[in-house]
Structure formats: C-alpha cells, structure tokens
Amino acid sequence: MCPELRVDLDTPGKQMFDLENKFKPFTVEIVDSAESYANMLRNIFDFAALKENHIKIRLEHHGSATLGGKKKAALFRCIVQNI
C-alpha cells in the first residue's frame, strides 16, 4: 500500500509520517515489550524480598510467543540485578 514508508522497528518511540497528502498524517509508536513486561513483573513481585529470602521461582510459559529472549533478559534483570 505504501512501499516508500520506512518505519524503524528497532527504536522505541513515536515516528510521525505524512505521505505527501495521500493520507492524513499519522503516528506509529514502537514500544519495548520486554521493558513493559519487566515493569509488570515489578508491580506483581517484590524481587528484593524474594532475593533476600532466597526464595526460588519456577517460571512456566508457553513458548517464545510469551517469553522470548528479550523478556527472559528483562526477567533476569528484575531478579538478579533487582532493578
């Protein structure tokens, strides 16, 4: 539909486009789903208390669709680095 449209999918943030008056100007927002996932986990779990009390966590998931490499890294940062 718009072969000249180039969206940077690697950089989180908003990108605005105006395709020479072919369409109304529009915005595309790229979000870091791994960071969103880490923030959600921080709101659910007290990682400092878990780490301090040496509580083990078993994480089960349904394949890479729900816990891909970036989300695994975010979870690791939450638990090990307690950020």
pLDDT for the residue 13: 92
Q: Could you tell me if 40 and 77 lie in one domain?
A: yes
Distance CA 70, CA 64 (A): 10
pLDDT tens digit string along 61-76? 555 555 566 667 776 6
Cβ-based neighbour number of residue 71 at 10 Å:
19
Q: Could you tell me if 62 and 74 lie in one domain?
A: yes
Q: Using the predicted structure, report yes or no on whether residue 48 has a pLDDT greater than 90.
A: no
The count of domains in the chain is 2
pLDDT for the residue 25: 85
Q: Could you tell me if 19 and 40 lie in one domain?
A: no
pLDDT band for 10, please (50, 70, 90 cuts): confident
pLDDT for the residue 67: 57
pLDDT tens digit string along 12-37? 899 988 877 777 888 999 887 777 77
Q: Could you tell me if 27 and 39 lie in one domain?
A: no
pLDDT for the residue 56: 76
Its domain, for residue 18, covers: 1-31
Q: Could you tell me if 36 and 76 lie in one domain?
A: yes
3-state secondary structure string, 35-79?
HHHHHHHHHHCCHHHHHHCCCCCCCCCCCCCCCCHHHHHHHHHHH
Q: Could you tell me if 73 and 63 lie in one domain?
A: yes
Task: Count how many residues are written for the chain.
Answer: 83
Q: Could you tell me if 36 and 69 lie in one domain?
A: yes
Q: Could you tell me if 20 and 42 lie in one domain?
A: no
